[in-house]
A and B are shown apart, each in its own frame.
Chain A
Amino acid sequence: MHDEPNAPGPLTLPGEAHALLAEAVLALRTTADLGVSWGVVCANARRALRASDSRLLRVDHRSGALFRVEESGVEIPYLAEHGGPVEWVMRHDQPMFDEGAAGPRAPRETLLWQRTPDALATVPLVAGNTQYGFLLVAFEAARVFSAPERLFVQTLADALALALERSGLFRLIKEERARAAQLERKLSAAQESAAGLMAIVSHEVRSPLSSIKAYAETLAGNLDNPRAPRERFLHIIDEECDRLAALMTDVHDLSRIEGGECTLRLAGTGLAELGREALERSHPEAVRRGVEVVLQSESDVRVEVDHELMRRVISNLIANAVQFSPEGGKVLVELGVRADEWMCRVTDEGPPLPAEDLAVVLEGFYRARRQAGAGSIVQAPEGTRLGLAISRSIVHLHGGRMWAELPDGGPGTPQGACFCFAAPVKQVASPRARRIARQTVGRDDLRQLFEGIVEMVSASLEASIVSLVLVDPDRGDLFIAASVGHESQGVQGRRTTLRSGVAGAVAAWGRPVLVENIETDRRFKRLNHPQYCTKSLLCVPLRVEGEVIGVINANNKANGEPFDEDDLALLVMLTERVSSAIERACAYPDSHRVVEDVIEAVLCMTRLKRDLSLGGKHLVKQARAVARELGMSAADVDVIGYVASIHDLGMVRLGAETGHPGRLDARQRNAVAAHPEVSVEILRPLEYLGVVRDLILSHHEHWDGTGYPRGLQGDAIPLGSRILTVCDAWDSMTSARPFRAPRTDEGAVAELRRVAGGQFDPEVVEAFVRVLEREGEVRAAA
């Protein structure tokens, strides 16, 4: 049946066929959008060859997955039939013309057609050395393919291959352009801020430089002048040099902090101690200016900060306040805790801060509009104007914020200013978690894994929105690393303030959370962001090497029902898989192979889950209920629920051959018998618990030892597997299959009881029936 060249048939195609071919090729050549051209190609191929149908399969080269391209251009994942023509063509890289000699039961990608065709042409779409996909042309009756017909199909396939190649390149160019545009934006922002900094710095440098030059020149011209205070001149030159040096240090620090090179060394520190130390540092200057600095520390709370940097922030604020204070003035430093934040407020009695400047006072360096303290005529300018900018950057690094406000008091007496900042008392991420996060966040290949993970979770839980939120290694707050379902809301990269969202709370608690309805949930009611329209949600902490490095969020089930405990248990299990996948990827920082394997495993689960809706929710619920009925521990119940949700993945390789093992012929039986091993094979890279592996491997063993693949008997079969076997059989009997109608519940129960002791563990069957009866009662009561 494969490519036999000298088949009889017409030697030329009718003229109409040529016109149709030309039109199809033109459509492919002139549009980059397959959604437009594929429709034309499809219709013309059918007309020219009098075919019943045609299909285009595209190979996605990133994942290796097959997609069926609809006439609309929409793509649907497709799995090639085991031993079918696509598999053969893929392997041999040459066309296959199945003329129907093998009869109607030959494999012809049954799932692609309304009615399985009797003859089928399957042609690889090859451009260069790459298979871009497959063109399938189906016929209702057995037929012979003439040489011109083969040439016709081949020509179409070549044109399609070029079109696919081109659309792939187009996509690549688009992606590259988007990336370039993004880089450009980043660059211009960086340049802008660098230019701003340069302008400020060059201005700031001129003041001390002017002094140095003026004094040096004057000194040189007055070396012999007894009236010139030469020592004072030298002293001023020295002082101004120090000022220049300090300025350079600040510029360096600021660019390091803003450039993300600065790492926080977090440690628990007493708030009062921090204040005292900052005060000591600015004490000499305050004394020199005759300003009194008063520290009010509300309570001695321990806060998690980088001690050195935070002390610098507070002393910068004090220095700023002292500088603007009149002689004999007072600077008040208040430290306190409000909810999850600690606050610092520095109030001075200097000249009033114009109200319109409150918002901009912290931008770059602001000082010009505030008049220097009265009586400062005998004092030197002190400190540099970069101080506030640096302080603000340090506070941001701690996940906090900084602002300026007017002091309390009567509106009629605007005097002085307050500089304040607030930062979280406890950073979500421990230094160790940040270190781990640092290893993971920057890696491109892991980003792909994160995207795969949210897809998988979304497919497994049937959740409409899923996001993976990770700890930012520098700032210690959380950001959305990957998400599905709410791209349109532009949340990618959005930051969650520490402890202020559900994600923040879960990361801080380190415990999974189930919210059935956020509008009525006491814990999180006020945390819901109206923009997300969230009703029900799951949030599970993601641990790597024991540290919480983020959370996985699932919002709203696709079917509108609230999430329940079973969903939460499944997400916990999936999250553990994700953790071990990330751990595994991190253990081999240089091996892209390992990461690719993990990504592939995750993508595979998603595809299979989507395509064949395996491990139906009902099955998971029943399996968990039976496990509980049999008195298994909560942990075991979770494992069984998880296995129930994924254990049949191997079946998908079997294509349309699924059915009851007992009624298949020898070849089919072998294929089915291999499927538990295939399941394990698919999930192997996720390296999950041995017990899961064991359960999957054993769920087709029979109580009496006649099952597969190992022929285990009785108690040698894990209890979890025995439960799965019964649930599976029930699922299979009560749902429609290609070869038979579904059984009634009563009929299925009778069948289960009939083979109890043979295929099934009798105890499990009885437990299952009790669960069913209870479900029935629930249904009756509802």
Chain B
Amino acid sequence: MAKGKILVVDDEIYIVHILDFSLGMEGYEVLTALDGEQALEKARAEHPDLIVLDIMMPKLDGYETCKMLKADDRTKDIPVILLSAKGRNVDQKVGFEVGADDYITKPFSPRRLVERINAILGQGTSQQRLQA
């Protein structure tokens, strides 16, 4: 039984792969998209529990995608974690302005990302659950 459904959006295919693996190992069901338009489609159709969204993407970038997700009643409640190579304060500010719930800069630690996701979704790690 999956802990939840997570949509991973990035145009860097290796990043999508590693997140797919890490989150899968953690017991999440993982959906993937390679650009903003695909992400919107999948978010509306599959209604994931959380979205990991890269900022620098072709077609529709992460900011725009986030804005549209938050403007849509069907998707506005889904938590979004922005993921980007940009690490300056101004980018974080823009990130929160468009309604993102968290922000992680590349290069990032997949383990930390999983911890954040767990925290947002109110889940313990697999280890914690085993102990409980």
| Chain A residues near B (Cβ < 8 Å) | 203, 206-207, 209-215, 217-218, 221-222, 225, 227-229, 233, 236, 240, 368-372, 376-381
Q: Report yes or no: A214 in contact with B34, Cβ–Cβ below 8 A.
A: no
CB-CB < 8 A to A378: which residues of B? 13
On whether A218 and B110 interact (CB within 8 A), knowing A370-B58, A372-B58, A377-B34, the answer reads: yes
Which of B15, B25, B57, B86 is the one whose CB lies under 8 Å from A214?
Answer: B15
Q: Report yes or no: B109 in contact with A213, Cβ–Cβ below 8 A.
A: yes
Q: Report yes or no: B107 in contact with A206, Cβ–Cβ below 8 A.
A: yes
Q: Report yes or no: A211 in contact with B12, Cβ–Cβ below 8 A.
A: yes
A486 CB → nearest B CB, Å: 49
**When chains A and B are docked, how far (Å) is the Cα of A377 from the Cα of B85?**
20
Check B29 for interface membership: any CB of A closer than 8 A: no
In the complex, the chain A residue whose C-beta lies closest to that of B16 is: A377
CB-CB < 8 A to B68: which residues of A? none
CB-CB < 8 A to B11: which residues of A? 372
**When chains A and B are docked, how far (Å) is the Cα of A209 from the Cα of B21?**
18
Q: Report yes or no: B85 in contact with A211, Cβ–Cβ below 8 A.
A: no
CB-CB < 8 A to A229: which residues of B? 21
**When chains A and B are docked, how far (Å) is the Cα of A217 from the Cα of B111?**
8
Q: Report yes or no: B108 in contact with A218, Cβ–Cβ below 8 A.
A: no
Q: Report yes or no: B58 in contact with A214, Cβ–Cβ below 8 A.
A: no
Check B31 for interface membership: any CB of A closer than 8 A: no
CB-CB < 8 A to B74: which residues of A? none
**When chains A and B are docked, how far (Å) is the Cα of A372 from the Cα of B25?**
29
A82 CB → nearest B CB, Å: 77
B46 CB → nearest A CB, Å: 17
Interface residue tally for chain B (C-beta within 8 Å) = 25
- 10 additional contacts (CB under 8 A) given A214-B19, A218-B22: A206-B85, A206-B107, A207-B85, A210-B15, A214-B110, A218-B110, A236-B17, A376-B13, A377-B13, A377-B34
Which of B15, B57, B59 is the one whose CB lies under 8 Å from A211?
Answer: B15
Q: Report yes or no: A210 in contact with B85, Cβ–Cβ below 8 A.
A: yes
B29 CB → nearest A CB, Å: 16
| Chain B residues near A (Cβ < 8 Å) | 11-15, 17-19, 21-22, 25, 34-35, 56-59, 85-86, 106-111
CB-CB < 8 A to B34: which residues of A? 372, 376-377
CB-CB < 8 A to B56: which residues of A? 203, 368
- Give how many A-B residue pairs fall within 8 Å (CB-CB): 76
15 example contacts (A-B, Cβ-Cβ < 8 A) are as follows A206-B107, A209-B107, A210-B15, A210-B107, A211-B18, A214-B15, A217-B109, A218-B110, A236-B17, A368-B56, A372-B34, A376-B34, A377-B34, A378-B13, A381-B14
In the complex, the chain A residue whose C-beta lies closest to that of B14 is: A211
**When chains A and B are docked, how far (Å) is the Cα of A218 from the Cα of B21?**
9
On whether A214 and B13 interact (CB within 8 A), knowing A368-B56, A371-B35, A372-B58, the answer reads: no
CB-CB < 8 A to B58: which residues of A? 368-372
**When chains A and B are docked, how far (Å) is the Cα of A212 from the Cα of B109?**
10
On whether A236 and B14 interact (CB within 8 A), knowing A207-B85, A218-B21, the answer reads: yes
Which of A212, A215, A221, A381 is the one whose CB lies under 8 Å from B12?
Answer: A381
CB-CB < 8 A to A240: which residues of B? 14
On whether A217 and B110 interact (CB within 8 A), knowing A222-B25, A225-B25, A227-B25, the answer reads: yes
Which of A203, A225, A381 is the one whose CB lies under 8 Å from B13?
Answer: A381
Q: Report yes or no: B85 in contact with A213, Cβ–Cβ below 8 A.
A: no
Closest 6 CB pairs of A and B: A206-B85, A210-B106, A213-B107, A210-B107, A211-B14, A371-B58
On whether A371 and B59 interact (CB within 8 A), knowing A380-B14, A381-B12, A381-B13, the answer reads: yes
Which of B18, B57, B106 is the one whose CB lies under 8 Å from A215?
Answer: B18
CB-CB < 8 A to A376: which residues of B? 13, 34
Q: Report yes or no: A210 in contact with B108, Cβ–Cβ below 8 A.
A: yes
CB-CB < 8 A to B107: which residues of A? 206, 209-210, 212-214
CB-CB < 8 A to B59: which residues of A? 371
Q: Report yes or no: A215 in contact with B14, Cβ–Cβ below 8 A.
A: yes
A220 CB → nearest B CB, Å: 10
CB-CB < 8 A to A380: which residues of B? 13-14
CB-CB < 8 A to B110: which residues of A? 214, 217-218
B121 CB → nearest A CB, Å: 20
On whether A379 and B13 interact (CB within 8 A), knowing A371-B58, A372-B34, the answer reads: yes
B53 CB → nearest A CB, Å: 15
In the complex, the chain A residue whose C-beta lies closest to that of B105 is: A206
